[in-house]
Amino acid sequence: MAILNVLTFPDDRLRTQAKPVSQVDDSIRTLVADMFETMQAEKGVGLAATQINVHKQVIVMDVSDDQDTPLVFINPKIDAQSGTKINEEGCLSVPNNYAKVERAETVTVTALDAQGEQFTVTAEGLLAVCIQHEMDHLQGKLFVDYLSPLKRQRIMKKLEKEARLAAKA
Ligand code: K1U
Ligand code: ZN
């Protein structure tokens, strides 16, 4: 297993559209294992393959309190959604920045698991937020895209400055 580098906004590679997985094989299961290790190392509750510069429709997630309920979504599709809710969001690709984003309150998603078996889940709460946030990543979209241009620009300048300082150190 390996901890992989997480791309940081405004890296253009985060804007890449992920392609569907044609076969869930051992290479995908290795990717999934590496993504879980990376997500846990970075103290996140979700991770999309886009964030580690792999442009395949693969998401890992664990929103449980004890981090003992891993979920894998391959080629996810939203079948239904209802309601709206505003939640505070964070992102490993936008470190230390949080903002309120409006999303559907409940979503029903169909995807493949790590064995290639199809499943459908209806989610609400943090799971619903996280599914929508990670599915946005697969489309090259970030939560900052829901903010005003001014707020997005401020976050971008701050992260660019932090990256410059880190490169000098
Ligand atoms: O970078 C990511 O896509 C992971 C992201 C998932 C997410 C969590 C909550 C709302 C939206 C998206 C994170 O893991 S952010 C950091 C985090 O651990 C967290 C943030 C808010 C609530 C719970 C956990
Ligand atoms: Zn994110």
Rounded CA gap, 12 and 152, in Å?
15
Considering the entire predicted model, what is its pTM? 0.97
Torsion of CA 149, 57, 29, 92, to 10 degrees: 10
User: Quick one: pLDDT at residue 47?
Assistant: 98
CB distance 8 to 95 below 8 Å:
yes
At 158 the pLDDT is: 96
37: annotated active-site residue? no
Cα(47) to centroid of ligand 2, in Å?
7
pLDDT at site 169:
83
Instruction: Look at residue 1 in the predicted model and tell me its pLDDT.
Output: 86
* Nearest protein Cα to ligand 1, atom 4: 46
Q: Ligand 1 pocket, 136 CB below 6 A?
A: no
- Point out the residues of the chain with pLDDT beneath 70: none
45 Cα to the center of ligand 1, angstroms: 5
- Percent of the chain topping pLDDT 90: 98
State both tokens at 82.
């209802």
- pLDDT number for residue 15: 98
Q: In what order do the strands lie in the sheet with 71-89?
A: 46-48, 58-61, 71-89, 99-112, 118-123
Choice among 124, 134, 160, 162 that is catalytic:
134
10 lines ligand 1 (CB under 6 A): no
Angstrom CA distances, 156 to 32, 108, 135, 140, 161, stand at 29, 33, 22, 16, 9
| DSSP structural state of residue 6 | P
- Which ligand is the nearest neighbour of the Cα of 98? 1
